[in-house]
Homo-oligomer: A and B are copies of this chain.
Amino acid sequence: MPDIKHFDPDASLETVVRLFWRQGVASTGIQDVVTATGLNRSSLYATFGGKQELYLAALRRYLEQRSQPVFRRLAEDERGLPAVSEFFDGLIETRCSGEYARWGCMVSNAHAGAENSDPAVRAVLDQHHRELCEALYAALVTAERQGQLAPGTAPGASADLLALLAYGVNLRSRAGADAATLRNTVTAALDSLGVRAAP
């Protein structure tokens, strides 16, 4: 007998993701959300709860829709080092040009803000980090199996290293770092993992 929603919660949440991603949660007011989504306050609160719950929903959506698909592609890629290289190319491309240029990574941004004192937020950050490391690890194990790694290179430690490097890329790109510079840096990192230059 009830009325139905007159909007698409999923599309609204995607709008909210972009808002929080770009501006951060502390600098984004509910009024901003109301304006950007076109919803009004009642529908917003009835659908998502308060601001913190809304942010959490947006952060989880970011992880699921933006991060995990990329991680999955990396982990399942059978090429080894080229897959890792392509992962970073795509990362830098996304961070430095197009619609999301200079937005950084929503999860990386959350690391630096006051929002990470919420245990539920912290859990998303840890999950993101774990999954990133695991995907890199899978790709490096593949690379090792194909003899692409320099002797003495441990896939586990190298995966952690590349994960931290990705956070660095995310941070610096948000402050306007040059894409070419970032690419050079990443290339140097990958070269130091791989077997020494063939002619």
- A-side residues, CB < 8 A to B, are 23-24, 26-27, 104, 108-114, 116, 122, 125-126, 129, 150-154, 157-158, 160-161, 163-169, 171-172, 174-177, 181, 184-185, 187-189, 191-193, 196-197
The answer, among B23, B125, B157, B196, for a CB contact under 8 Å with A152, is B196
Secondary structure at the A interface, as helix, strand, loop or mixed, is helix
Q: How far is the CB of A62 from chain B (nearest CB, A)?
A: 14
Contacts of A160 in B (CB 8 A): 181, 184-185, 188
The answer, among B112, B169, B193, for a CB contact under 8 Å with A109, is B112
Find out whether the CB atom of A154 lies under 8 angstroms from the CB atom of B114. Answer: no
24 contacts between A and B (CB under 8 A): A24-B113, A26-B26, A26-B27, A27-B113, A27-B114, A108-B112, A109-B112, A112-B171, A116-B174, A116-B175, A122-B175, A126-B175, A126-B176, A129-B172, A129-B175, A157-B188, A160-B181, A161-B185, A161-B189, A164-B164, A164-B172, A164-B185, A167-B168, A171-B171
Query: In this complex, which of A112, A157, A174 has the most chain B Cβ atoms within 10 angstroms of its Cβ?
Result: A112
Q: How far is the CB of A171 from chain B (nearest CB, A)?
A: 4
Closest residue of chain B to A121 (Cβ to Cβ) is B175
Contacts of A110 in B (CB 8 A): 112
Q: How far is the CB of A93 from chain B (nearest CB, A)?
A: 17
